Amino acid sequence: MTSHLRAHFPAEVGELDDAELARNIEAALQVATRYGLRSERDRCRFINITTLYGLEFADAPEHRWMHQMLIEPAVPDPAQRLERLCLELIERERVATQNLQARERFLRAR
Partner 1 sequence: MPADGLQRAHAASSDFNASKDPAVEQCPIKAAQAIEIELIDADGRPVKDQAFEVETADKRRYAGKTAADGACRLDGIAEGACIVRFKLDRGACEFLESVALRAAAGGDATPGKSADGDPTQHIIAEGECIATVAARYGYQPDAIWKHDGNQRLRQSRKSGYVLDKGDVLTLPVKHPIDFAKATGKRHRFRAVAANTQFQLYLMTAAGEPRRGGAFLLELRRANGAELPSIEGETRADGFIDVPIPPDADKGTLRIREGEKARAVETQLGRLLPSSTVNGAQRRLHNLAYYRGADDGQLNADTKRALEEFQLDYGLKPTGELDDETADLLAKVHCS
Classify burial at 63, counting beta carbons within 10 Å of its beta carbon; exposed 0-12, middle 13-18, buried 19 or more. Answer: middle
Residue pair 84/71 in contact by the 8 Å Cβ criterion: no
14 forms part of the interface with partner 1 (CB under 8 A) = no
16 binds partner 1 (CB under 8 A): no
Select from 28, 31, 42, 70 the one that contacts partner 1 (CB under 8 A). 42
Candidate list 22, 27, 60, 96; residue touching partner 1; CB under 8 A: 96
Report if residue 91 touches partner 1, rule: CB under 8 A: yes
The reply on whether position 109 binds partner 1 by CB under 8 A is: yes
DSSP label at residue 36: T
Name the residue nearer to partner 1 (CB basis): 23 or 103: 103
Burial 40-61 (b: 16+ CB within 10 A, else e): eebbbbbbbbbbebeeebbeee
Is residue 61 at the binding interface for partner 1, with CB under 8 A as the rule?
no
Q: Which range in 15-23, 27-35, 48-56 contacts partner 1 by CB under 8 A?
A: 48-56
Under the binding rule (CB under 8 A), the answer on residue 60 touching partner 1 is: no
Q: How many helices and strands in the chain, by DSSP H and E?
A: 6, 0
106 binds partner 1 (CB under 8 A): yes
Q: How many angstroms separate the CA atoms of 96 and 43, rounded?
A: 27
